[in-house]
Amino acid sequence: MGTASSSLSDLSFNCESEGGGAGNCATRQYKVYLSNLAIGYLSAPNWSYGQACSGLARTAVLKWYLKSGQQSAYEIAVSSSNSLSTSTAVCWSGKKYSSSASQYIIPNSDPTCGALSYNTNYYWWIRLYDQDDQPTDWYQYSTNSVTDTDGNPDANPLTFTTFKHEFPSPYFTWTPPDVLVGTSTYFTSLSQRYTNAQPATPTPCVGANCQYLWTTSDAGALISSATNSTTTIIFLHATGTSITLRVTDTENYVCSTSTSLNINYDLPLWREIKAQ
């Protein structure tokens, strides 16, 4: 059933349903050939700031899309040089049988595919296997641009680039622990950051090494120093309220953390009166 369309004409496969009859349909036989297996688009690293804040900054998600044909397996190679060699690749997937896979995440458990290096440009290639287990040619990633998640810092469309280091780790405390309406609550940032020299080792945010922004869901709250490492907030509503600290490091890597607090009214003053 169905209709095949082309620029020349349409070819109907609906013989019986269109009144051709069983006898006539028997003489109308068609053979359908699948198009050759081909990949239409490759992308990388597909790893946003938000994802880097919650996980490894050296992660890369390599994606591809089928242009035509049927995929039965795939094979991927990643290298720091523009030279395709599975024996010297920093990551070689080996042959992976899957008809539905359209992405490959690094790092993973494959023997050569651990975490990538920081601030490194990578090339990658993929080839697919069709329904007869025959491989395509190797396709090379070649479409990186400034609009991709890595921003293409080396201006090379053939490479994707990992982040320079891990992203900042926002964290804060407050006092007093019981927050009351109309009183001052003191918030202190204990956030950490990373550097190019020590990309995986956290160090405290000190001075101009980090920038801060405090916000709260209490629209009427009074924030004394919204861009300092410490701030005072006076809440005006007794409700569940979220407080958010956004931290930006010297590479403009940005992460945020939020905490929800129950803001309460202070207990009324009272005194005991002896019964008459």
> What is the SS3 assignment for 24-93?
HHHCCCCCCCCCCCEEEEEECCCCCHHHHHHCCCCCEEEEEEEEECCCCEEEEEEECCCCCCCCCCCEEC
- CA 253 to CA 7: how far, in whole Å? 50
Judged against a pLDDT cut of 90, whether residue 221 lies above it is answered with: yes
Mean pLDDT over 195-200 rounds to: 95
Share of the chain above pLDDT 90, in %: 77
Question: Tell me, what's the pLDDT at 268?
Answer: 56
For 35-62, what is the mean pLDDT? 92
Of 182, 183, 207, 180, the residue nearest 193 (C-alpha): 207
Domain ranges of the chain: 38-161, 172-262
Tell me what pLDDT residue 30 has.
Answer: 62
pLDDT at 72 over 90: yes
Q: Do domains 38-161 and 172-262 have the same CATH topology?
A: yes
**Residue 231 CB neighbours (<10 A):** 22
Whole-model pTM over 0.85? no
38-161: what fold? Immunoglobulin-like (2.60.40)
| Residue 270 pLDDT | 56
Question: Using 50, 70 and 90 to split pLDDT, how confident is the model at 21?
Answer: low
- As a whole number, mean pLDDT of residues 256-272 equals 78
Flag whether pLDDT at 11 surpasses 80.
Answer: no
Q: How confident is the model at residue 31 (pLDDT cuts 50, 70, 90)?
A: low
Architecture of domain 172-262: Sandwich (2.60)
Using pLDDT thresholds of 50, 70 and 90, give the confidence band for residue 25. low
Residue-level pLDDT at 228: 96
Kindly report which listed range (52-61, 195-204, 265-274) carries the lowest average pLDDT score: 265-274
